Chain A
Amino acid sequence: MLTNKRLAVALAAALAVHLGLCAFQRARTLRDWLGPAHYNHRFVEFLDECAREIPPEATVEVPPNEFLLVSSRLYPRRVVEVPPPDGTSPGAWRLRFTWPFDRAAASLERPHGR
């Protein structure tokens, strides 16, 4: 037990303030979690939809935005950046999107002839 009464009171007060601050912050975080999805989340949902269509051995061309994130979500597909203004790999699938992500402006193009 703490025998120094003043110290004990000070520590108990600090603990109460800490718990109050943190509980308030957790409530705000919880509100964010339960609220509408962030555009990042809609982006990965879009990528997962694309992954269901694109065969694993395919090459995918993407804009440079969030290139590594796309590489991860589409693994093991080979992901290459579209070199500006408009380089292409024959037979590649192509993802089009802008950043921040807007689902309405995003699309997946199949390779020509498929």
Chain B
Amino acid sequence: MNLAVGLNHFLLLGALLFVCGAVCMATKRNAIGILMGVELVLNAATINFVAFAYYNPIFQVEGQIFALFVIVLAAAEAAIALAIVLNFYNNHMTVDVDTAEELKG
């Protein structure tokens, strides 16, 4: 059995991490928890980028640059999202996202 770590392992890890993040977003009622899920999903994508960059010479530069992009994006997203959460808390005195139902049809 070839136990050398290959591309598929990384993709598997990325998929696993993505599913974890998605489940986290879909199940957590705490807004901070949902943000964590988002971070997981983003990191899953980063893993994929880096993995492709490593194993495929065509994407050597692009994959790494995109990974950096995603990290910066995640930082910016976190800043904005935390600000939203803070405002949400000010309005509802809680961070339970189920209380945000103004968009209900």
A and B interact? no
Question: Residues of A with Cβ closer than 8 Å to B?
Answer: none
